[in-house]
Structure 1
Amino acid sequence: MSVATTETTTSATAAVGASEDQALEARNSKTVVAVILGGGAGTRLFPLTKRRAKPAVPIGGAYRLIDVPMSNCINSGINKVYILTQFNSQSLNRHLSRAYDCTNGVAFGDGFVEVLAATQTPGSEGKRWFQGTADAVRQFDWLFDDAKSKDIEDVLILSGDHLYRMDYMDFVQSHRQRGAGISICCLPIDGSRASDFGLMKIDDTGRVISFSEKPKGGELKAMVIDTTVLGLSKEEAENKPYIASMGVYIFKKDILLNLLRWRFPTANDFGSEIIPAAAKEINVKAYLFNDYWEDIGTIKSFFEANLALAEQPPRFSFYDDDRPMYTSRRNLPPSTVNNSKITDSIISHGCFLDNCRIEHSVVGVRSRIGSNVHLKDTVMLGADYYETDTERGQLLAEGNVPIGIGENTTIQKCIIDKNARIGKNVIISNSEGVEEADRTSEGFYIRTGVTVVLKNSIIADGLVI
């Protein structure tokens, strides 16, 4: 009897040990590589993307959009990262080299961060640029045959223009433990935004059984499901009857290469082509992410997501000791605030605020705001450099406008890009409710009712917008 008990105990201990080993293996981040997609030309975010790639667009006063997936990778223990770029990539490349270079920024141990710019190569196939998300990865798929990728089992595909905080290894663990060939990160949404996303229908096991990219009308209604299968309450499920893809995927490496090279060699996009077709023959699983997530793809979404950071309480916060958001070091001093009133706002470091009023706004690094200025519902991206007091005095004496906002100026519902020079007695309020306007010669655009002051532009004294 004693022997039997010992054998049973030993067997149970071994089973527990095996289970723990399997769980540890499922969370092995050393066998994961992340590919961050730099995005297209960014036409919907124009003019913020006029001279920069979408992932290089500043957000939250001190960060850039690329810092979100990069920080999520670091906090998840994923230290092998490729970033694919094509459009206006100079500022993105500079930021990445400053923030994530192993000798200067975040330490990556035995990992790497490599920026892969779109290139043309000999042969007819090499004379074209990226045609879509899948084509971008296909053009660099040879990297997965490289010696430093020999241990890679899974490829994590990420976007460079989303705002969220996520432990990717929870996603990877679920993908591996459920035996999925492909896993799609998804979130439940209501009907008001459903047609803007790729939508899925799943069975009781979480397997994707159909996929529709941005459906409308009858196709949209056909994508309604009971989202309690994802663990939502009945009330939540009634309010959010759709499952939307976040554009965050995991592929088994061998399956990804087979799909790109042999199964669908002409397919250009993951969301609209490869995923829907693969779901018919491969085990594609949905993974629920029921937390804050925003696609920063338009001027309106960029504007609203920034201002949401200043709400109390904010729906998303960059402040998290356990999972910080990283960015490049600037070595700037604390901001100087003189006799000013600030409510529900974010003031970044290195700013000078003098006798001004700021309401529900985000003020970026190195911003200068003059006396009797009133900012409301404004996103100010800051400046790349300082002008000395001598330089500013000389500019003013010559009738020119220094970087920052001049005295007695009122601004609301506005995005002010970097290094903008806004003069004295200016009013920016779009009081006539204009939805769209291109006024490049005057230094601004209006997009979906939001005024966007261009980078390096000059808004003359007394101008009313």
Structure 2
Amino acid sequence: MKKVLAIILGGGAGTRLYPLTKLRAKPAVPVAGKYRLIDIPVSNCINSEIYKIYVLTQFNSASLNRHIARTYSFAGFSEGFVEVLAAQQTPDSPSWFQGTADAVRKYLWLLEEWDNEEFLILSGDHLYRMDYRQFLQRHRDTNADITLSVIPIDDRRASDFGLMKIDESNGRVVSFSEKPKGDELAQMRVDTTILGLTPEQAQAQPYIASMGIYVFKREVLIKLLKESLERTDFGKEIIPDAAKDYNVQAFLYDGYWEDIGTIEAFYNANLALTQQPLPPFSFYDEQAPIYTRPRYLPPTKLLDCNVTQSMIGEGCILRNCRITHSVLGVRSRIESGCIIEDSLLMGSDFYQNSAERQCSLTKGDIPVGIGTDSIIRRAIIDKNARIGHDVKIINKDNVQEAEREKQGFYIRSGITVILKNATIPDGTVI
């Protein structure tokens, strides 16, 4: 693993996750009450003994830089690092990143300085736990130029992914199509029993989808990026073209994996963590922990509360409220009489002490947290939000899409998203 260099792609502007990406890069979006999305691929690398990690970003990277600097510091006796490479303009390259491949190409001059044998290319907005050592072993055993991590997928979601066909005899990828539609999609149907699925499973999942996780031989990646400057994306251009002339192999991943690049997928993945008896993805794995920044917060305080099927981060203060099927982030503050159902609260970056909160109330301002007698259902409350007294965030008209930035909220797929630092006045009904 010392010969592997990991590159995590931070993604573009994150428009599908907006407004959560309004003030932060996509990998910096909080997840599961105390983590950030970037913690997932970085932790997978560390657990796989891959310690040289670059993160490529372009948009709103300040909070991501801060999180990585405070979280990942390897001992001085190791070559290990987690370093952010932000998009930059140079005399040779005056433009910003044009795509995933172009982002790596812009920093080839730096990547080539390392004495590595493989480049591991990862995405920054997926939720999964994976031992990359098995992935790389498959890559080396098949003497592949490129290896893709794949999953079987059903008809409903197939057009959202890059799909491929595989030679049954040697496992080589013979064709690849990025997010096909219509007739092109129908042509990508395959018998997925070649991946080891049962006939029943193969019938339900007749496509092989790329997870956006790749291993390249060092010289192959450098050659592909240097010889085709107009090709700017791995999934759309580099991989499909390489499938014709290079040994491109597929590695079947059979664990939980979720692309959480949309508000709906992000919301569902977070609330799925509360499922009983076992959630599809668990943070409770001592053998492969997910790391994040230690905050040294006090334990959560529950004062006469009713909490069912929920996760609550550290440092929260909850008074005489009801929490059902929800995830509460660090430093969440919920006052008496509140009802929180099917919601994700990201918590707060700071505490207001009793004097500050009382001063806010005296002035008619709203303190950070959820005010008394408020009801929140099927919502995402971003950090540092100030929700007043007797507020009802319930989407009472069942609106599917709405943009009310001046009022402090959006609605995406029927899920109400309260903006970071937003203030929702007393008595508001959304």
Instruction: Please give the range of the TM-score, normalised by the shorter of the 2 chains.
Output: over 0.9
CA distance in 2, matches of 1:300, 1:108: 43
Partner-residue secondary structure (3-state), 1:192: helix
Q: Residue 321 of structure 1: which of 259, 269, 286 is its match?
A: 286
Q: 2:56 aligns with which of 79, 84, 87?
A: 84
Deviations 1:300-351 (A, max 9, x none): 1111111111111211111110000000010001100011011110000000
Read off the aligned partner of 2:146 and give its amino acid letter.
Answer: I
Report the alpha carbon displacement of residue 283 of structure 1 after superposing the two structures with TM.
0.3
1:3-22 aligned at under 5 Å gives the runs: none
Report what 2:330 is aligned to.
365
**Of the candidates 284, 298, 305, which is equivalent to residue 340 of structure 1?**
305
Corresponding residue for 1:425?
Answer: 390
Structure 1 residue 391 and structure 2 residue 356: aligned? yes
C-alpha distance 233-108 of structure 1, shift in aligned 2 (>3 A): farther
Counterpart in the other structure of 1:412: 377
Contact 1:138/1:260 (<8 A) preserved = yes
Deviations, residues 358-401 of structure 1 (Å, cap 9, x unaligned)? 01000000000010100001000000000001000111111111
**2:281 match: secondary structure:** coil
1:58 correspondence with 2:30: yes
1:282 aligned partner: 246
2:171 and 2:418 map into 1 onto residues whose CA distance is 46
- Is 1:194 the equivalent of 2:194? no
Q: Name the structure 1 match of 2:260.
A: 296
1:102 to partner: Cα distance? 2.7
**Deviations for 1:407-462, whole angstroms, at most 9, x for unmatched residues?**
10001010000000000101011011111111122111111111000100100000
Are residues 1:96 and 2:68 paired? yes
The aligned counterpart of 1:5 is: none
* Structure 2 unaligned regions, length at least 5: none
Task: Report what 1:136 is aligned to.
Answer: 103
Cα contact 2:373–2:391 (8 A) shared by 1: yes
The RMSD of aligned alpha carbons is 1.0
The residue identity in structure 2 corresponding to 1:207 is: R
| Total equivalences in the alignment | 428
SS class of match (2:2): helix
Which amino acid in the other structure matches residue 379 of structure 1?
L
Rounded to whole Å, the distance in 2 between the matches of 1:437 and 1:226 is 41
**Native 8 Å contact 1:52 1:87 kept in 2:** yes
**Aligned: 1:33 with 2:2:** no
Give the corresponding residue for 2:15: 43
Secondary structure of the corresponding residue to residue 30 of structure 1? coil
Matched, 1:113 2:113: no
Please say if 1:307 is aligned against 2:274: no
* Structure 2: distance between partners of 1:226 and 1:145: 40
Aligned to 1:127: 94
1:106-126 Cα offsets, whole Å, 9 max, x none, are x88222222111111114xx1
Cα deviation, 1:222-255, whole Å, max 9, x if unaligned, reads: 1111111111112111111101000000000000
SS in 2 for 1:212: strand
- Give the corresponding residue for 2:341: 376
Q: SS at the partner of 2:342?
A: strand
Matched, 1:174 2:138: yes
Structure 2 SS opposite 1:172: helix
Q: 2:314 aligns with which of 338, 349, 365?
A: 349
Flag the structure with higher helix content.
1
**What SS does the corresponding residue of 2:74 show, helix, strand or coil?**
coil
For 1:336 and 1:182, how far apart are their aligned partners in 2?
Answer: 51
Corresponding residue for 2:41?
Answer: 69
Corresponding residue SS for 2:213: strand
Q: Render the CA deviation track for 1:257-303: whole Å, top value 9, x for unaligned.
A: 000002x2210000000000000000000100111111111111111
Quick check: 2:74–2:80 contact (8 Å CA) kept in 1? no
Query: Secondary structure in 2 aligned to 1:183?
Result: strand
- CA distance in 1 between counterparts of 2:74 and 2:283 reads 23
Amino acid in structure 2 at the alignment position of 1:66: I
Q: In 2, distance between residues paired with 1:236 and 1:372?
A: 47
SS at match of 1:196: coil
3-state SS of the aligned residue for 1:250? strand
- Normalised to the residue count of structure 1, the TM-score between the two structures is 0.91
CA radius of gyration, larger in: 1
Q: Partner of 2:360: helix, strand, or coil?
A: helix
Which ranges of 4 or more aligned residues in structure 1 deviate by more than 4 Å?
A: none
Of the structure 1 ranges 200-209 and 89-98, higher mean CA displacement relative to structure 2 is found in 200-209
Matched letter for residue 371 of structure 2: G
Q: Distance in 2 between matches of 1:208 and 1:401?
A: 58
% identical aligned pairs: 59
- Give the partner amino acid of 2:111: F
Equivalent residue of 2:127, what SS?
Answer: strand
When the two structures are superposed, what TM-score results if normalisation uses the length of structure 2? 0.98
- Deviation for aligned residue 1:80: 0.6
Q: Is the 8 A contact 1:79 1:108 kept in 2?
A: no
